[in-house]
Structure 1
């Protein structure tokens, strides 16, 4: 008997407790990557058209990207065209087409950042609790805003870096940049700034999963803050001190904000857990239950209420039994 094909059979099966097998993880990762690539390709088509055409009141992306170079003084850059228009140099047959495809792909990554950020979050979601899954919209929104903010900051840092680097010795030489090298430099700096600004979300995601609690962040705070400036010095493509300082300060501020978010989140979580335990009259899952008390002999409660302690024997020795006389009147009343 032929079993009909069920497209849901290939999907990863998530257990009620959120655990998944290695094969299910691989299927899930493959699905997320394919959706992300599809969104990037569709956005790259828009970026390919935007390269030479205005969109939504914005100048063409090619014109925007060559802006930092064209804003230099005319004495600092070479005049390639007869009319004196600012252009970049192309020396190969396929340089212009390859450059347009590269810019279109980078634009697609930038425009599709909400989609692939959502896919990244969806891959982490099975390890989270039900309340933490509600952060999906906030995660995608903040991730897109941070990525765009980092890319824009990198763009302005490039403009400031060019004013310093390409005007230092313009009295003796003129700069004539190739389009492929220039655009690769600009796009790499913008990508580095954009990805670096995702650091807070990465730390918060690890804290939500439970891998990176606030206690460790507090212990490693000084080392992490120092590492932000070291990382900024290594990943800065321009090499000028201003760009490294601005990137290091931005990463340090974002790191501190993410640490404070983790602190407030864990504090609220502990407060809510303590309030629910008091309200429900239940103990925490990790708290030990009280040991049941041993049965007390007859007359022990009266002695405890009067403040006297009954006869107790050490461990391993028999307890001495004392015979007490019962009044006759009380015995008659019992009968």
Structure 2
């Protein structure tokens, strides 16, 4: 089918926009489907990994602690959710690229370079945050089970436990994207490094509040294990912004005045 001609200003007609949206949505859906199929295949080892913190807590306390599938369809429902969750994570580079490919025609050359850099940094940073949450999960489960009275059992609802783990992983993954946004906004000239540095106290406070929310325990070690890396990344991103601002200021001073 021939492409619809653009107007003199280079803007894409509405009909072509709708066709492009449909194409990108279909490709994103196919990527999620492939990731979900992989999640379905890997469900058993993934479920074993999810249950391992509970098994460790049960062994340490010598108590009955495990997952409770409290419905006829709970097992199959949990398998579908786990598969979709893993599909979203595995296919993140693909659907992030599709979003960029949709907005790409409306960006300048400089903006495209920034977005490419964002994509290259966002995926590993998101995965790093997810890995941190996964590493802290056993300690969180252990501390929470310390509140179970002696002789008591803790049969955790499978759906509730899965929702808790998903929230923890997604929240930490998204939190690790904040430094990437900071650098991109600085590269685009929107926010100077001094602005980020001036708000460091608020950044530290928000980081620890965030860690306290996603790890609802009295364990200080777990809270510092999440808040510490987030604060460190904030200051690293601020340092990168300072280096960029210094280069920009030098170019401005060296540029001839017209």
Matched, 1:118 2:97: yes
Q: Which runs of 5+ in 1 are unaligned?
A: 53-59, 80-86, 284-288, 290-335
The residue aligned with 1:49 is 41
Q: 2:229 aligns with which of 229, 235, 250?
A: 250
The residue aligned with 1:66 is 51
**1:150, 1:193 within 8 Å by CA — same for their partners in 2?**
yes
Distance 1:34 1:239 in 2: 45
The residue aligned with 1:36 is 28
Task: Give the SS at the match of 2:155.
Answer: coil
Say if 1:91 and 1:116 are closer, same or farther in 2 by CA, change over 3 A.
same
Which is greater in Rg? 1
Say if 1:108 and 1:226 are closer, same or farther in 2 by CA, change over 3 A.
same
Distance 2:170 2:155 in 1: 24
The residue aligned with 1:9 is 4
Task: Give the SS at the match of 1:211.
Answer: coil
Task: Give the SS at the match of 2:37.
Answer: helix
**2:4, 2:16 within 8 Å by CA — same for their partners in 1?**
no
The residue aligned with 1:195 is 174
The residue aligned with 1:146 is 125
Question: What is the total number of aligned residue pairs between the two structures?
Answer: 257
Q: Which runs of 5+ in 2 are unaligned?
A: none
Task: Give the SS at the match of 1:97.
Answer: helix
**2:24, 2:98 within 8 Å by CA — same for their partners in 1?**
yes
What is the aligned-residue RMSD (CA, Å)?
3.4
The residue aligned with 1:331 is none
Please state how far the C-alpha of 1:220 moved relative to its aligned partner: 2.4
Please state how far the C-alpha of 1:216 moved relative to its aligned partner: 2.4
Query: Comparing both chains, which one has the higher relative contact order based on Cα–Cα distances under 8 Å and sequence gaps of 6 or more?
Result: 2
Higher relative helix content:
2
TM-score, normalised to structure 2, is 0.82
Summarize deviations over 1:129-178 as a string: whole Å, max 9, x none.
53453355543332221111111111121101122221344523122222
**1:147, 1:194 within 8 Å by CA — same for their partners in 2?**
yes
Summarize deviations over 1:68-117 as a string: whole Å, max 9, x none.
112224344427xxxxxxx6221211101100010001101110121233
Distance 1:107 1:115 in 2: 14
